[in-house]
Structures are given as structure tokens and as C-alpha cells.
Amino acid sequence: MIELFTANTPNGKKISIMLEEIGYEYRVTKIDLDKKEQFSEKFKKISPFSKIPVIIDHKKNITVFESGAILIYLAEQSGKFYDIKDRLIINQWLMAQMGYIGPMLGQHHQFHHYNPGKSKFGEDRYFKISKRIYDELDQRLSNCRFLSGEEYTIADIATFPWIARHEWHDIGLVQYKNLTRWYNEISKRDAVIKGFKFMKKDEFPPKP
């Protein structure tokens, strides 16, 4: 049994989608970010940076924090979405999401969605970076079906929930035909639909 400590965020959805994709039994322990539960001493024992998500593999008594590390762990355990012959390219696109796509879109959310009007510099800066991310992903997907090639992998699972917040970005996903094609294909997967609404039963990936 996998216990998933999480909240309803893109990083949280990465793991619920992965667990649905590999068919593992899991239970969700909600961490209420509004109540600052992530900063409790109890949670910090399993998440030293007070971040969600975290998993505990109770069968093996193993705790894993950081969403990219969790995806790699689950992929290695299940033998899915992380083919050994493609791991170098998968890791590159996974790390791109972890170090660039997620953090930059996250800053765009902070300035553009949560706190509009407080910093024109911040809004302009992260809008431009986010638009560049759309451009770069669209270019990549003009050459291959998925981010790391022709197979769906943990790199796609990691990136998808961030693009699923495209309505917050006000960039216009539909203008990017390759990114839209990728997004639509992934959003129709049964496991993605189930994992996306793991905390809110009427929540579905928004259409482009």
C-alpha cells in the first residue's frame, strides 16, 4: 500500500496520475496548505523542505519526497514509463520540468493568477518566460509524439498537470498545435482522468 501525502496541486497530481497509471493501490492523506499543515513537525519528519507530495511505501517501509524522485521510484518499482534504454532522454525532460517548467509556471501563477496588480515587473517577466516555455514545448513536440520520444513516460506525467493549468496562464494553449495535440491525447487517458480528480471528483483536465 502506498500512502500519498499531498494536496490538489500540479505536483500532487503528478503522483496520483502515476499511481493510477501503474495500477497501484494507494490512499491519500491530505495536507491542507491553507492551514500550513506542511510546516508541522510531524510532516517535516518525512518532508524536510515542507513540500508535498511525499509517499510512504508501507510494504517496504520506504519514504520518498520530491515529486521527480517519487516518479522515478514508482517507475522503477513498476517497470513502467521509464524504459532503461531511454532513461537519459527521459531524465533530461523530467529534470526540465522539475527545474524549469514547474518553477517558472508556478511563479507565473503567483504574480498573474493569485496576486495580479502587485508587481508589473513580476507579471511581465513570468508571462514572457511562460510563453517561451509553451513555444519550446511546442517545438519539441513538432518532432516527436511525446516529450522524450515516441513513448509516453514519466516526463509527460510530470509536465501534463502544469499545462493543465493553461486557463490560468492566459497564453492560449490552442495556438500551439503540437502542444495541444499532446495535451489532448494525454487528457483522454483513463488513468489521467482518474488521477486528475483524486481530490475533487468533478474535476477534469480543462479543454484547450
Supply the range of the domain harboring residue 40: 2-81
When pLDDT is cut at 50, 70 and 90, the band that residue 118 belongs to is: very high
pLDDT digits 0-9 by tens, 89-104: 999 999 999 999 999 9
134: CATH? 1.20.1050.10
pLDDT in the model for residue 120: 94
Show the 3-state SS of 50-105. Answer: CCCCEEEECCCCEEEECHHHHHHHHHHHHCCCCCHHHHHHHHHHHHHHHHHHHHHH
| Number of folded domains that form the chain | 2
* 146 and 126 within one domain: yes
